[in-house]
Each structure stands twice: as structure tokens, then as C-alpha cells.
A and B are shown apart, each in its own frame.
Chain A
């Protein structure tokens, strides 16, 4: 018979039931929205899907530590979990998926997954890998120069650490002790190329060479990611400098809806990782610790699904931007201070 622990993990982290359920709901919303995107894609209603599935714990666990609209986030294209934790909605995601005029990221100019929100300080993202890291360092430098306590979360996959931008930003952040948290979601694949061909040695260990802490964490354990990220964000807020977090996780879907991953990985491998899926795993934790019962779980899932369904219907019926929108808005006209 298992001994009951005197203190649960979440109690040790000072997380109450309400907060745990918020975290759970962010993860579930990101997942259910993502699942809906694939259905719309298969129905021929959405041209392209790029997925967060499998990485929700890494994303939500990290982003839950930010203050939306005050701290900054530089997400990459899988980070639906980050942007939804910060306040973007299923409706936002599905408007973007279908390229509609109300898409808050770009008004239908960008592919889905290229997140942007001025109100939430989610900085507009592009497709090339790693370009966000020098930008994030610059944003962190502005906080430091003004002696503000803002923190910047810069996120990417393991392949984004292969190019120069990541290293240039790591070095610069180390030189000036910038308040930035580098979150690398190591999901094992960059399209088809597996981690052993992408990454030499350890990503987390590289931080030591730049003079700040690097931590490898089980990226499918949301409380573990939350704990590490909280430490990193608090350290940055205290002005002590950057932290690198390598969240070890797994991409459960193909690279995108245009990718057939049967060409490069075995089904058995995916099935093994499905057993470690971060959402059922956190659900089990909540059930075992009495934070949630099965009825409560079904109620939350029902609400999330209804929300996603409503969002999907709304997005389907929403208009595209006027065609003239393609040809305008290249240059900013007024340059008022933010």
C-alpha cells in the first residue's frame, strides 16, 4: 500500500485547486482547439495546420508564470499553449486557421500559428527558425535599461538552437544578465530530422558556457515545468539574469498537415509517447489528489468542447478581410510612442 505523502507537489508549489484547474483548462483548450483544426483541415475547410499536441505542458507550465500585457512573449509556431495561457482564445486560433479578417495575429495575412497580440505583448512571429531570440534579448534589454521588472519568454524548438541567432542571443543575454527566459521545447523532430542529427551534446548544458543556469526538465510534466519556469522568471525579475530551460517533450502529430510522418518514424514510437501524453497525465494527478473528480473533468471537457465548437462555427462564418487589405498597411504612418 502506497504511503500518502504529507504534502502534495502542488502544495509544495503553493498552487491551489483553482490555479491547478486553470492550468488544466489552458492545456485542454489548446488541445481541443488543435484537434478541431485537424478536423477542419480534413474537411477541406482549412488549408494548413501546425500543431501543439504533446507540448501543452511545456507551454502552459512556462507561460503561467508571466503577467500578460506586462511581460513579453516571443512564441514559435507550435505555442498555442503559451498564447492561450496569456489570453488568446479558441476563437482567435480558429479565425487565424481560416485566415479570416478578424484573425488577431495578422488579419489573414499570415499562416496559422504566427501569433501576435499587441495587448498581450505577444510579439509577431515569422516562419524562419530562431529569429525571435535576438529580438527577445533586445526587449529584455529595454526592461533592464528602464530598471523595470518585466521578463521576456523566448520560445522555440530544439532545431532553433542550431543556428547563429540563438547563440548570439544567449551570449548577449549572458553578457548583460538580461531578464529573459529561453524555453527550448525539445520535441525530438524538426520536420523529419531526429534529435541525434540536430543536437550535439546537451542543449541545457550549453547555458553554462554562456554563464547562466540551464535546466533540463520533463516537458510533459506540467508541474515540473511550472516549477522550473517560476524559478527562472523570478530570477529574471530580481535582475539576476537569464535562464535556459530545455523541456524534453515529443511532437505527437506530423510537422504540419502537409507532412506524412510515416516516412521517418515508427508508429510504435508515437504510441509509447502517447502513454506519456501530458494532458491525461496531469488529469490523473488531479484525480489522485482530489482536485478533480470524473464528473468535474467531464464538465470542464464539455465546456471546452462547446467553446471550441462555437469558435469553429464563428470562424467559419466570419468574413475574409477586403481584398484591398493585401495591398495596404506596409508602412506605419503615425509614430506615436507606445
Chain B
């Protein structure tokens, strides 16, 4: 076991897959010589050369489209979109092309690409380095969307994503890159796409969350246990699309109370889908309405610090929501 940050785990997952399979490659903006703006790909170009770790022009549609074309011709590309906020130009290639190759060719062409997307609010990130855009991709049949939060899951899921024959959009929360550290098995255990994780067992209520908000929710859960004797079960979907409905619904049935929390804009969010699933499939087990916590429907976190703080859900709001749910 080695203690790794989220960033190191993703780096190691990439390097490991590249060593094991010579068709695995990385392409994106500044991923080569600079090792990525976050240093996720640091050292990879030195080890694997400038084609397998390719600095591309600043053209996201090209990056996604070229990844598709590479995969058609025997490669397993991992494309990096530098910030989630820059993904809209690649939307057509990901949503209308990669996601549909398999279906529209009657199963003749599959697209084993992974699109890595750093997302989420960081201080100073402002309107174009902060967004949580995962919901855009979560009603696109043919895509898989994953968003691991902790290092071991991230390394294991990245390995699965690269080996998956389908296009996988892989979200990495930027604020967690260096903040979250944990022990990761040597070589990285493979974590399957499509399975949720129960981080903390509990009996009184369920929190379904991912990203930085998940980390906060786990801290709040410990506090509630100590201060109020309320035991929260904390579930991380890991795969946002298609959802592991079973694990989420089972937890809802067990506790009867559910909060879904993320930092994405609330309306039309992944949380909305989770809430709908729980409301339909666990209705008779529920003791309270399904609650959601998210960012307000304004573009994203502004630049100035006080403005940013008023945007984020935050630990206090999570605690208040859980106490309200506990008392319901």
C-alpha cells in the first residue's frame, strides 16, 4: 500500500495502463512537456514519447474527434479536456459521435476512449474554471460517466474506463486533487464502472454525494454521530450514468430518509435523477421527502472569495439539511 493523493492516483493509473498496453495513449492541451496544468500527466511524455503523450492544438472538438478516430484504428486514447468549462466545443464529438458509433453502426464500430475532465469549484476559478457539467452527459445513451472522489477509486476506475469498450467521461474534482490522500493498493485494484460505494454505514439517514461535497458530507456525518447520535449512511455513486440504482435504493429503503448533495446547479442535475429514482422505487419505505442540496441556479462560483462562499453548498448547509431530515 502506498499513500497517494487523488492526482497521484490518476497519474499512476494512466502510467500503469500505458505500460501494460501499448495502444493506450494520452492527448490534450499541455499534457506533454508541461505534464498538464495540474501535473496529472507529469513525466509520462519522458517515459512514453511525444506521440503517446501528445500536446495537441487548443481545439477541443479536434481532441475528442481525433480520439474517436484513433480508437477506430486500434488505439485506446485518453483525451484530457483541460477544464470542464472548455468542453462545450467537444460536445458534438462526444455526445453525437462517440456515444453513438456503436448503436448507429449496428455494433460494428465501438469507441474505447476515455475523456478526462477536471471539474468543480476551486478558489479563484471563477466562471470558466469551476463548473460541474456532468449532468450534460448524463442523458446521453452510449456514454458512461464516472466521477470518483477518493484516490483508490479513481485509480481503479480509470483502469476500468480505459479498458471499457465504450466512451467514458471521467470527471476529476480539482479541489480534491491534492487535498485527498489515502492508501492505494500496489498496482491499483480495478474498480468496476457501474457500481456505487458505501463509504460509511448508517441507520438513520442516507446521503448520496460525490466530489468535494462528498468529502464534506463524510466529515459532517462523523460530527452528527458524535454530537447528535445520528448515524448517516454515505453512498457515492462513482458512476453517474448509468446509475447503480440498486445500491442507492437499498440504502434509501434501509434508512427511509435521503439527502442528495453535490455542487452542481440543482435544476436538471444528477441529484434530480437520483431523487426521482428513490422517490419512485423506495416510496413506501420513505419517512421524509427526498431532499436535495446543490448550487443555486446561477452560472457557477464567482471569482471573489465571499461571492464564491455564498455559491457553495458548504458543510454548514449539509449539516443543517441532515439535522432537518433527522428530525423529520
Contact = CB atoms under 8 A, between A and B. Distances in A.
A135 B106 contact: no
A135 B61 contact: no
A220 interface: no
Interface residues of B, number: 46
B76 to A, nearest CB: 9
A301 B141 CA distance: 45
B108 A124 contact: yes
Contact of B109 (A123, A142, A330, A333): A123
Nearest to A146: B74
A124 B101 contact: yes
A171 B59 contact: yes
A335 interface: yes
B116 to A, nearest CB: 17
B166 A338 contact: no
A119 to B, nearest CB: 9
A330 B103 contact: yes
Contact of B97 (A135, A145, A175): A135
Interface in A119-157: 123-124, 126, 128, 131, 133-146, 150, 152
Given A131-B97, A141-B69, A106 B104 contact: yes
B110 interface: yes
Q: Which of B57, B65, B75 has the most C-beta atoms of chain A within 10 angstroms of its own C-beta?
A: B65
Contacts of B72: 72, 123, 135, 138-139
B163 to A, nearest CB: 6
Interface in B25-75: 25, 51-52, 56-57, 59, 61-62, 64-75
A136 B69 contact: yes
Interface stretch (B7-15, B88-96, B173-181): B88-96
A134 B65 contact: yes
Given A135-B68, A139-B70, A337-B23, A128 B105 contact: no
Q: Lowest 4 A-B CB distances belong to which pairs? A: A134-B65, A138-B69, A335-B165, A138-B66
Given A131-B96, A140-B69, 13 more contacts: A118-B108, A123-B109, A124-B109, A135-B65, A137-B62, A137-B65, A138-B65, A138-B66, A138-B73, A139-B69, A165-B92, A329-B103, A331-B144
23 contacts: A72-B73, A106-B106, A116-B104, A128-B96, A134-B68, A134-B93, A137-B66, A138-B67, A139-B73, A141-B69, A142-B73, A145-B75, A168-B57, A168-B62, A169-B65, A171-B62, A172-B56, A172-B59, A172-B62, A330-B102, A332-B107, A335-B165, A338-B74
